[in-house]
């Protein structure tokens, strides 16, 4: 199996097929193999397909804080970039700001945070973004997204002004609720958006019905929240406990269920990156595997869906 993977990697890297790829040491392959990246349609900028979600970045103990610090250090060490946070995520922005400063790796990351205007005023938005800049200890934000579409209409002109002032690089909107999909669709049809962020996983494919095709048509980048179905019991790992990976998945370099789930999500042509929540380096190492190798094509994606559906019905 290792030789097969080496041979595939060698082919992707354009190495001579006359080289005995089986003799390439693991470290040599790791050193040269590229991360899978996709382009932001509005700019052409490349980002790796796996990022980090931080709605659980309010550590309660020094050990928990150290674990999150280790995740951030490994994140940039491995070339990943996107970090998604929000003022609504407890201490997340503050903790990220402090840890990125300690590690000195702010320049290597792409910070996506969020803003809302619950009372419908632009002043709320201004105060919230100024506070985010302070907490994140940065001069500018890579992406600001209207969280759960709250105040999108009033905030959009403000976000554009901040782009003009170079305090923000990209703008977007987020949701993780089916009930908001029609409003999100309207915003995508009427506003110039760089990004949307939406929930999508192999167990929750509703976004693929209309939103993802519309994003592709409009040239809007898509970040995927809850690629494992979230932190609750509904999370996809519960369905595959003690179930082996299918052989055809192993043959395309997928070595764990987490990589199966992430490669399914990021192989959708509209999806730029998934932002799984990760508070442990071991999970980051696992998920990093989904940012290497090859992505499933349409026929493999269909096989993945059929396999998942069969597993679900056998578990009921
Ligand atoms: N409306 C919105 O804007 C919205 C809504 C929801 C989420 N979000 C964003 O999306 C991000 C992701 O969503 P989420 O964190 O709720 O759900 P998720 O990414 O689907 O699941 C996160 C859970 O999966 C676990 N996990 C990660 N990698 C794993 C692996 N390799 N093996 C086993 N378990 C693994 C994590 O554990 P550990 O923590 O122990 O590593 C965590 O418990 C959030 O952090 C947030 O940034 C945005």
Residues 47 and 23 in one domain: no
- 103 shares a domain with 185: yes
The β-bridge partners of 83 are: 52, 111
Over the stretch 181-216, which tens digit does the pLDDT of each residue have?
A: 999 999 999 999 999 999 999 999 999 999 999 999
11 and 93, same domain (yes or no): no
Whether 15 and 83 map to the same domain: the answer is: no
- Rounded to two decimals, the pTM is 0.92
Is the CB of 277 inside a 6 Å radius of any atom of ligand 1?
yes
Q: Measured between alpha carbons, how far is 76 from 52 in angstroms, rounded to an integer?
A: 11
Residues 102 and 27 in one domain: no
Please state the atom number of ligand 1 nearest to the C-alpha of residue 197: 3
Q: Is the pLDDT of residue 232 over 90?
A: no
CA-nearest residue for atom 2, ligand 1, is 175
Residue 256: count other Cβ atoms within 10 Å of its Cβ: 15
Q: Is the CB of 259 under 6 A from ligand 1?
A: no
pLDDT at res. 132: 98
Domain match, 58 and 28 both:
no
Q: Domain check: are 7 and 87 in the same one?
A: no
- Tell whether 62 and 13 lie within a shared domain: no
From the CA of 228, give the closest atom in ligand 1.
Answer: 20
The radius of gyration of the chain from alpha carbons, rounded to an integer in Å, stands at 20
Question: Which tokens belong to 296?
Answer: 């499933």
Cα of 248 from ligand 1 centre, angstroms: 26
Taking every pair of Cα atoms in the chain, the longest distance, rounded to a whole number of angstroms, is 66
d(CA 284, CA 264): 17
> 33 pLDDT band (50/70/90 cuts)?
confident
- Distance in Å, CA 232 to ligand 1 centroid: 9
Dump pLDDT digits (tens) for 81-129.
999 999 999 999 999 999 999 999 999 999 999 999 999 999 999 999 9
Query: Is 230 close to ligand 1, i.e. is its CB under 6 Å away?
Result: yes
Sign of the torsion angle spanned by Cα atoms 130, 136, 142, 146: negative
pLDDT exceeds cutoff 60 at 31: no
Measured CA to CA, the distance from residue 171 to residue 285 in angstroms comes to 30
Give the domain CATH number at 208.
3.20.20.100
Q: Say yes or no to pLDDT of 261 above 60.
A: yes
Q: What is the mean pLDDT of residues 56-73?
A: 98
229 lines ligand 1 (CB under 6 A): yes
Report the number of distinct structural domains present in the chain: 2
139 and 206 share one domain: yes
Are residue 136 and residue 6 in the same domain, yes or no? no
Task: With both helix axes pointing from N to C terminus, report the angle between 298-315 and 257-266 in degrees, rounded to the nearest 10.
Answer: 130
* 275 Cβ closer than 6 Å to some ligand 1 atom: yes
Least Cα distance to 83 among 44, 132, 119 occurs for 132
| Distance in Å, CA 309 to ligand 1 centroid | 22
- Nearest-atom index, ligand 1, CA of 201: 20
Q: Which band of pLDDT confidence, cut at 50, 70 and 90, is reported for residue 315? A: confident
Residues 233 and 107 in one domain: yes
Tokens of 261: 């789930």
Question: Which structural domain, as residue segments, surrounds residue 131?
Answer: 37-315
The b-or-e profile of 46-63 (16+ CB within 10 A means b, else e) is: ebbbbbbbbbebebeeee
Query: Which of these, 274, 295, 261, 288, lies nearest to 76 by C-alpha position?
Result: 288
For residue 176 and ligand 1, the question of a CB distance below 6 A is answered with yes
Which residues on neighbouring strands pair with residue 223, listed in sequence order?
A: 197, 273
CB of 278 sitting under 6 A from ligand 1: yes
Q: Whose CA is nearest to atom 37 of ligand 1?
A: 278
Mean pLDDT of 169-181: 98
Residues 69 and 28 in one domain: no
Q: What is the mean pLDDT of the chain?
A: 91
């Amino acid at each position: 199996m290792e030789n097969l993977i080496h041979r595939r990697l060698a082919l992707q890297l354009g190495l001579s097929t006359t080289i005995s790829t089986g003799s390439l040491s693991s470290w040599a392959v790791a050193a040269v193999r590229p991360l899978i990246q996709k382009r932001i349609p509005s700019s052409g900028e490349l980002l790796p397909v796996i990022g980090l979600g931080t709605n659980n970045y309010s550590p309660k103990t020094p050990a928990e804080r150290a674990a999150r610090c280790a995740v951030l250090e490994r994140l940039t060490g491995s070339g990943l970039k996107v970090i998604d946070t929000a003022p609504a995520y407890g201490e997340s922005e503050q903790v990220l700001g402090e840890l990125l400063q300690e590690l000195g790796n702010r320049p290597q990351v792409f910070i996506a945070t969020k803003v809302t205007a619950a009372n419908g005023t632009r002043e709320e938005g201004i105060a919230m973004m100024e506070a985010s800049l302070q907490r994140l200890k940065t001069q500018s934000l890579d992406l600001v997204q209207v969280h759960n579409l709250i105040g999108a209409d009033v905030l959009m002109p403000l976000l554009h002004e901040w782009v003009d002032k170079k305090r923000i690089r990209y703008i977007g909107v987020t949701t993780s609720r089916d009930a908001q999909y029609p409003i999100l669709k309207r915003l995508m049809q009427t506003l110039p958006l760089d990004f949307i962020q939406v929930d999508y996983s192999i167990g929750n494919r509703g976004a693929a019905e209309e939103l993802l095709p519309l994003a592709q048509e409009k040239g809007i980048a898509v970040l995927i929240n809850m690629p494992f179905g979230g932190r609750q019991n509904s999370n996809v790992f519960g369905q595959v406990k003690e179930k082996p990976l299918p052989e055809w998945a192993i043959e395309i370099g997928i070595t764990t269920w987490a990589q199966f789930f992430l490669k399914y999500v990021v192989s959708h042509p509209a999806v730029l990156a998934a932002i799984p929540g990760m508070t442990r380096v071991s999970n980051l190492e696992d998920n990093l595997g989904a940012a290497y190798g090859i992505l499933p094509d349409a026929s493999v994606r269909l096989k993945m869906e059929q396999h998942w559906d069969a597993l679900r019905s056998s578990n009921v």
